[in-house]
């Protein structure tokens, strides 16, 4: 990180605002980013709109203050009242809004409190993100995690290209590697899942994500029924929670799936599960740049994913994994069967995927790019006195269009 000097001769107080610190890609992104911000120039802290601090321990151990704005375990209007008070009474120099609700209310209340620099995040293109059409003006800048999201902001929502940057997601490789080095038998893991352990360890197809409509788990379950009819001793493990859990449990319990589907709920040990996975699958109809795929690639687990959103920017078809059309049950099942039956190809794709993550998707590269962007924006607003030499690095992935 280049040397910079704050106009106040102190690190810039930087608040990352998230809805909560439960399990989720954006939550883990904030947990990875905050400790890696250059502490000589940024003084980071994390505020939450709910008191779910499951991932907060990783921040506390790195000396990052965590401030829940309510004692309620889920988001409540009282958190907004407390947010307005906190911004007015203890205003940060920089406010970075993460997750959907903070991206709305953080900008509105941040502008009312006259926060000097507000940076929003847009990490997917689901209908919930329609607020970007109107609220982008309340952020000084918007960070996207893929060029596909950037294109939607610019082309559909008319955000000026100069107000948007792409910073790719980053993965904590040390966390993945530590889990991979642990000595553990599959039987030990299976016994801890609270379900009968088969006579022989199964081939595990793993899928990680929120149990919501955009993830299209019904298509995955339909495809897995074809896989189970062809491949013996295969199980589908779905990690995550959400409003569709009961519906999906009913689909998973059908005899046509051979009762080989396990809904494991939200878990903090995905790297541990990856050690026992033969394949990771994403059946989403809409995505930004899913961390679940990056973690699988970092663990050298071959992936099959739908070619939606920013996924093709991560997975190169036939090089790092397999891509199939969204909603195509037959194509998804065929790609899964191919990699389960062809170990040599699976290993080749897994090795290539690991190299790609090491080159383009580490947490350190993500943090460096974010620091560079924040420095530039802070300098433009007079928060940093000394000019910053050189343009921000690593803000656009290969192939991203230049600013118009």
Where along the chain do its domains lie? Answer: 12-170+362-380, 173-360
Is the Cβ–Cβ distance between 379 and 390 less than 8 Å?
no
Q: Which fold has domain 12-170+362-380?
A: Rossmann fold (3.40.50)
Is the Cβ–Cβ distance between 303 and 295 less than 8 Å?
no
pLDDT class for 300, splitting at 50, 70, 90? very high
Q: Tell me the C-alpha to C-alpha distance, in Å, between residue 203 and each of 147, 247, 277, 385.
A: 35, 25, 7, 58
Task: Name the β-bridge partners of 262.
Answer: 237
* 111-169 per-position pLDDT tens digit: 999 999 999 998 876 655 667 888 899 999 999 999 999 999 999 899 999 999 999 99
Task: Name the β-bridge partners of 268.
Answer: none
What's the farthest any 2 CA atoms get from each other in the chain?
Answer: 67
* 345-393 per-position pLDDT tens digit: 999 999 999 999 999 999 999 999 999 999 999 999 999 875 544 444 4
Length of the chain: 404
Residue 331's H or E segment, with its range, is: helix 329-341
Shared fold status for 12-170+362-380 and 173-360? yes
Residue 312 has pLDDT above 50, yes or no: yes
pLDDT class for 20, splitting at 50, 70, 90? very high
Mean pLDDT of the chain: 88
- According to DSSP, residue 175 is labeled H
Those residues with Cβ within 8 angstroms of residue 2's Cβ, 6 or more apart along the chain or in another chain: 372, 375, 388, 389, 390
What three-state secondary structure class fits 195?
Answer: coil
The CA angle 394-398-399, to the nearest 5 degrees, is 135
Q: What is the CA radius of gyration of the chain?
A: 22
Q: How far apart are CA 368 and CA 1, in angstroms?
A: 7
User: pTM for the complete prediction?
Assistant: 0.85
Is the Cβ–Cβ distance between 2 and 390 less than 8 Å?
yes
Q: Which fold has domain 173-360?
A: Rossmann fold (3.40.50)
* 30-62 per-position pLDDT tens digit: 999 999 999 988 999 999 999 988 888 889 899
Q: How far apart are CA 24 and CA 304, in angstroms?
A: 20
Task: For residue 183, count CB atoms less than 10 angstroms from its CB and return exposed for 0-12, middle for 13-18, buried for 19 or more.
Answer: exposed
Is the Cβ–Cβ distance between 43 and 11 less than 8 Å?
yes
Percent of the chain with pLDDT over 90: 69
């Amino acid at each position: 990180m280049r040397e910079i000097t704050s106009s106040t001769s102190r690190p810039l107080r930087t608040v990352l605002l998230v809805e909560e610190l439960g399990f989720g890609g954006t939550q883990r992104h904030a947990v990875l980013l905050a400790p890696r911000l250059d502490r000589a120039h940024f003084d980071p802290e994390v505020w939450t709109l709910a008191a779910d601090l499951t991932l907060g321990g990783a921040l506390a151990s790195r000396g990052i203050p965590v401030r829940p704005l309510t004692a309620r375990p889920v988001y409540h209007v009282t958190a907004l009242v407390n947010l307005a008070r906190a911004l007015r009474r203890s205003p940060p120099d920089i406010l970075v809004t993460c997750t959907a609700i903070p991206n709305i209310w953080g900008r509105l209340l941040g502008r009312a409190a006259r926060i000097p620099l507000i940076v929003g995040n847009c990490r997917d293109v689901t209908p919930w993100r329609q607020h970007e059409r109107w609220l982008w003006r309340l952020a000084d800048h918007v960070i996207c995690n893929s060029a596909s999201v950037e294109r939607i902001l610019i082309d559909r929502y008319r955000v000026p290209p100069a107000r948007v940057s792409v910073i790719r997601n980053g993965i904590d490789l040390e966390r993945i590697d530590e889990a991979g080095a642990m000595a553990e038998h599959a039987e030990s893991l299976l016994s801890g899942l609270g379900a009968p352990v088969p006579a022989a360890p199964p081939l595990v197809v793993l899928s990680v994500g929120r149990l919501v409509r955009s993830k299209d788990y019904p298509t995955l379950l339909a495809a897995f029924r074809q896989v189970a009819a062809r491949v013996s001793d295969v199980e589908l493990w779905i990690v995550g929670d959400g409003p569709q859990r009961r519906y999906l449990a009913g689909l998973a319990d059908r005899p046509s799936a051979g009762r080989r589907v396990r809904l494991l709920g939200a878990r903090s040990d995905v790297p541990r599960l990856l050690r026992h996975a033969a394949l990771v699958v994403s059946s989403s109809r809409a995505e930004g740049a899913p961390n679940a795929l990056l973690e699988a690639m970092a663990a050298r687990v071959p992936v099959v994913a739908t070619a939606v959103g920013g996924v093709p920017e991560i997975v190169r078809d036939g090089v790092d994994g397999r891509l199939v059309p969204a909603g195509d049950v037959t194509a998804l099942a065929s790609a899964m069967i191919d990699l389960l039956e062809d170990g040599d190809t699976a290993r080749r794709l897994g090795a290539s995927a690991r190299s790609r993550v090491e080159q383009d998707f580490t947490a350190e590269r993500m943090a460096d790019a974010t620091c560079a962007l924040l420095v530039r924006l802070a300098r433009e607003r007079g928060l940093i006195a000394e000019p910053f030499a050189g343009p921000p690095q690593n803000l656009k992935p290969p192939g991203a269009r230049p600013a118009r």
